[in-house]
Structure 1
């Protein structure tokens, strides 16, 4: 999975790390809800913030 997202560039290394972490979480539990896939409330909130970020487009995630 790291190889697939090696060229990911969302404009900030923190966004890149968060995106990779979310993909790993969602891939490990594909049928779980966002809170179910995340480990704890703070990670769940971070996931929703990431997904709601206006500067990130789903096409950017699909680029790599």
Structure 2
């Protein structure tokens, strides 16, 4: 289990795919903190998935931050 999976272990966005996307996006952005999303992602499909995740109506930043705070 990677650091992001451990960090967001308690994250529950209502869909396992959203949870996995949050972990992957955190890993990608952490590797290139100053990069844009397209430059942080490894390919176009990953970039599109990142933007879909960020615009998803069911994704709450409060949920993401709560999981992060619980891990801290």
Tell whether 2:42 aligns with 1:39.
yes
Q: 2:58 aligns with which of 55, 60, 63?
A: 55
Looking at structure 1, the residues matched to 65 and 27 of structure 2 have their Cα atoms a distance apart, in angstroms, of: 15
* Structure 2 residues without counterparts, runs of 5 or longer: 68-72
Could you say which residue in structure 2 is the equivalent of 1:21? Answer: 24
Deviation of the 1:4 alpha carbon: 1.6
- Looking at secondary structure, tell me which structure has more helix per residue: 2
* Structure 1 residues without counterparts, runs of 5 or longer: none
Deviation of the 1:39 alpha carbon: 0.8
TM-score between the two structures when normalised by the length of structure 2: 0.84
TM-score between the two structures when normalised by the length of structure 1: 0.94
Looking at structure 2, the residues matched to 13 and 4 of structure 1 have their Cα atoms a distance apart, in angstroms, of: 16
Q: Tell me the number of residue pairs that the alignment of Structure 1 and Structure 2 aligns.
A: 64
Superposed CA RMSD: 0.8
- Describe the SS at the equivalent of 2:27: helix
